[in-house]
Structure 1
Amino acid sequence: MPLKEKLWNRNFIIACIANFLVACSFNLLMPTIPIYLSEELGVPHSEIGIVLSSYAIALLLIRPFCGYWVDVYARKPLFLLGLTVFIATFFGYYFAVTVLFLVILRFVHGMSWALATVSANTVAIDIIPASRRAEGIGFFGVNTNIAMAIAPFVAVNIYESYGFHFLISCALMMGFLSILVVIFIKVPKREKLDKTPPLSFDRFFLLKGFPIFINQLFLSFGWGTLIAFAVLYGKDTGVHNAGVFFLFLAGGIILSRVTSGKFVDKGHLHKVMVTALFVIALGFVCFALFHSIYAFCISAFIIGIGYGTLFPALQTIYINMASSSKRGTANSTYLTGFDLGIGIGMLFGAYLGDHFGFSTMYLITAGFCLFALIYYWFISRKVFEKNRVR
């Protein structure tokens, strides 16, 4: 029996630490900006959706170019560049008192986050042994989920105790630490390209993965409604510290994510995907219908298990449909699917929440997830099997 390739080497550990730190800085703001806009600036829900989705629109516009850049140029310098601009943008929040300023600021933040995340994921995949790719992706993503568990819960408490500006200072501190850590990552050398690949659409988007991309939009719609409105929904239903939602959500993600990658590597990809889609839909139904602190937490945990199972499997689908020279393109397509779906979820979710209430919005989200399950089985599954390269 051949020995397993080592996953937890020095570079992978450093990459995981860096990923955790930058994810902490990012997730400190995600649940608190809607509260700040609603409670301190008096912004209606529909305009909150515009502010939140502006960063997703920026991600959508710049992400495909990031995939091309990391396939052509050195990945670590691009990672440091994106990270540095991302952290520097936090200073703008000290002066954010109007909706327009926040829209512009979130847009700039989204552009830098796009470069940082595409390059970070691609660097991580370069470091992870090919035979343990899905498992490695799962563990790498868990660091984001641990940050997502800790940061929003802590952020709501910091915001309520010390205010928005102190929260920004905390985000800056975590960001500076992430830059220092990234400096110590050693990225495997790649063969130099004889010439720069010509610009073409398939260098920005994995064309044969388009059906999977459409499938992904219905799933990431739900993620957009969660990060934008779960805290406000909790407050409406009487949950005093609705930041606890993210604690249970991330708990479910962490529990499932560290194991689902192993099942994918063993050849059970489609079973993992179908199970994940069903569990996510079930979690949203519970979230919409049952209104108590216990139901709030249990629903978050169920949704977390579903998304935690989904993330490494879905990313592996894209990676396994691309050649190594288009690994950045595959990653950017995967991340763009979330960007677009999250943006739609924030905008359309705000409309549904304003006109029909958050409960109806989350029931509709559950319906989208069930549709995604059917679509995957009859279309996406067959597309993957036809186009996989590994």
Structure 2
Amino acid sequence: MLAGTKIVLGVAGGIAAYKACALTSKLTQQGAVVKVIMTKSATEFISPLTFQALSRNAVYTDTFDEKDLEKIAHIDLADWADCFIIAPATANTIGKFANGIGDDMLSTTILATTSPVYIAPSMNVNMYSHPSVVANMKILDGYGYRFIEPGNGYLACGWVGKGRLEEPETIIQVVDQDLLTNQLFAGKKVLVTAGPTREKVDPVRFFSNHSSGKMGFALAEEAARLGADVTLIAGPVQLPTPTNVARIDVESAEEMYQAVNSYYDDQDIVIKAAAVADYRPINTYQEKIKKKTGNLTIEMERTKDILKELGTKKQGQFLVGFAAETTNVLDYGKAKLVSKNLDAIVINDITVEGAGFTTDTNQVWYLNREGKEHLLPLASKRDIARQLLLIIDQEIKDESK
């Protein structure tokens, strides 16, 4: 997959910069077109001439050194790249990326790119575990940057532990595999629902639930990364729209029902991760209900069962439901899988620590209609989303055999 791939390699100022020379050479040997950006500190360890000879391209070190007067270098590079690899990524560089600081060629180019970014950290073991570095890496993970974890071993500072830049062969393997999987859903249309719904009582009150939308948004983001044409129907949440995803905002269960049905027929994969209200008030009020003595009774009625209707009328779509449960999770999930005519169901036991609505991590069961069960252990919701999509892709391939 690397042949012809346009890669910008960012080299920050650490002793592991010498490994970036081998990385440049190996990428070039595999047919990639490599352009290198070095920070000022990186040039203290390795000469730009070394990378120029290995990549056979000019090396960028200064934001104001415009090599082509008709182009702005950092914008041109940002647009040119199929992906960025930052190796080594120092604590300082990671901090700049996480906080939007653009004060050199590398950081300004990163701010300008929409291409995938792979970060391979390298630093002292104590620096790597420092709360500020951990927080910055978490921010970048939230932006969709991919981390290639450092290895354990003897460090230049004399310490032994985690912080050693991963070997060039491993970095290449990670990027190569990602480029391969990023084409899995090319040409497929994927519909994802996410978040809660709100069922109005009066102008200031509504019924809702604890869903944050994070799992559904992660699914939409990862589906787009895999090349799909993604439509995301989102309840009221405060989350940014993932890159290359068409977002439709709704509020009530009825609005969710109408939006899903308007897009359903021409979809290849539908993943209903939204926590749609099962009930809504029969009567709503145009003015605020005033507080009175005694209890207040609000009569509720069932909302439409969107997932069941989709299962009834599906014609070739691969339909996946979600179930948030607290007891007998597998039994309830299996029953829902059958009763709603689903191809698969993802069951979320919200009593598990680190899983559930508002967390950034999750642990789920994936069940299909053939009775196969997959437990996806606790991981970030983005990782869980990617694992789920890879399973779905394999199941669709198995069905077509």
Which TM-score bucket, shorter chain as reference?
under 0.3
TM-score (norm 2): 0.23
Higher strand share: 2
Q: Which has the larger radius of gyration?
A: 2
TM-score (norm 1): 0.23
**Structure with greater contact order relative to length (CA < 8 Å, sep ≥ 6):** 1
Higher helix share: 1
